[in-house]
Amino acid sequence: MDNYFGTDGIRGKVGVSPITADFFLKLGWAVGSVLAQKKSQTSVVIGKDTRVSGYLFESALEAGFLSAGVDVGLLGPMPTPAVAYLTQTYGATAGVVISASHNHFQDNGVKFFCANGFKFSSKVQEEIEKRLSQPMQSVDSKNIGKAVRHEQSLGRYIDFCKLSFDRTVDLSNLKIVIDCANGATYHIAQNVFSELGGKVKIINNKPDGFNINLACGATDTKHLQQVVLENKADLGIAFDGDGDRLIMVDGKGELTDGDELTFIIGKAWQAQNRLKNNLVVGTKMTNLGIRQGYKDLGINFIEADVGDRFVLEKMKINDAILGGEGSGHIICLDKTTSGDGIIAALQVLEVIIKSKKTLAELKSEVTKYHQVLINISTQKNINISENSTLQQAKTEIEKVLGAAGRVLIRPSGTEPLIRIMVEAKDQISAQQNAEKLANILG
């Protein structure tokens, strides 16, 4: 049986299996058939980001669901966290997002949410993959599903975001630049932040189907940094193509990543006695300096595998309400059920106003170790643990660094890459050791 699901749904290059129209047709049928087994009245909502192939896969999935007897609600362009929320709002059995997140337009993929707004479990994914190996068979014509377009979904999500914010907080003195990555927040972010009083300048909010994440957004902030400095803004906010990541830029034009933003929120929530169980969940990639910062505050830190799905699992198991990772997935579980860039940004803005500090000042309250990340492209499966040369070099580097550094080598869960990360107190050591390991992998 093929394994289609990665750490964040199914993703790949458009036109290359499994990212094809015929597969998405069968995928819709397979998911619909599994859902229909569990519940007689079954419906799904489908959202997508702004890449051109979304039209193709939206239609294919819709046809697949209808052939399984499942009703479909079409949401149009919508951030991933919005689909998680709207799945619950519309009482759907499941939610579907057509997106390749932070990747460029040549890629696409799909993510799924349960009725409660959380992502599908591994068990449900296994059932779907088993069904995909079977012949596709439509229900009788009298049982074919119906489709409707939900026209009010945009307004519902905008209101939901605004309700997550403390309305006693005044944003009118903040000058904010927002980078929408030409993605799914393009028609939402302006409304949310300006209606809450912020002085907002929006950039990269004109998607054409091809420019999603192109030299913009959370994965490429150079344009945002430039605009923040040119406009003498207080800060910049960057989302990725599907709106579930947040990276911020302070008034000096310097980046604040997801680990730092999670720390800023966690420290403030602890002071307000809002941090449930005095606990924050991060990942294996969470910087040693951030970990030390939590320790100094007496905040418990729990490590999850990389990926917001794994962060969320650890949060639920340990009854935590705050988790995040450096790439910008920040989960505020008392507000929503998934990583949400807009809602996370609003929590940071609350901290800024209430503390009367700038983002730069808040970021300076924790000192990160130097972290070097090198991605090695690979078109084949490499067993890292069986590469004796690599493992020996890793052991030697770890021995030299001791408690003042860290090495992590792992395969990407979403791309054909091996990720090498080295942390150290000095930049040169981190860079040299990361390059040494990278050279071994070629």
Give the span between the Cα atoms of 381 and 255, in whole angstroms: 34
| Residues 343, 270: Cα–Cα separation, whole Å | 19
Helix or strand run (H / E) with residue 406: strand 405-411
For residue 362, the tally of other CB atoms under 10 A from its CB is 22
**Position 404, amino acid:** A
Location of structure tokens 């919005």: 82
* Catalytic residue annotation: 101
CB 236 within 8 A of CB 176: yes
DSSP character at residue 91:
T
Count H helices and E strands in the chain, helices first. Answer: 14, 18
Token digits of residue 198? 């912020």
Number of neighbouring beta carbons within 10 Å of residue 377? 11
Tell me which residue of 361, 368, 354 sits closest to 405, measured CA to CA.
Answer: 368
Please answer whether residues 250 and 225 qualify as being in contact, where contact means their C-beta atoms are separated by less than 8 angstroms: no
Residues 125, 51: contact at Cβ < 8 Å?
A: no
Q: Which residues contact 100 (CB under 8 A, 6 or more apart)?
A: 11, 49, 51, 107, 108, 109, 241
60 contacts 98 by C-beta, under 8 angstroms: no
Strand residues in 215-269 grouped as ranges (E): 235-239, 246-250, 255-256
| Cα Rg of the chain, angstroms | 22
**Phi, psi for 258 (deg, rounded to 5):** -65, -35
Scanning the structure block, which residue is given the tokens 């995909």?
A: 132
Q: Kindly give the pairing relationship between strand 199-203 and strand 175-179.
A: parallel
C-alpha 229/C-alpha 237 separation (Å) is: 13
- Structural contact between residues 390 and 397, judged by C-beta atoms closer than 8 angstroms: no
**β-bridge mates for residue 302, sequence order:** 281
* Contact (CB, 8 A) for 123 and 73: no
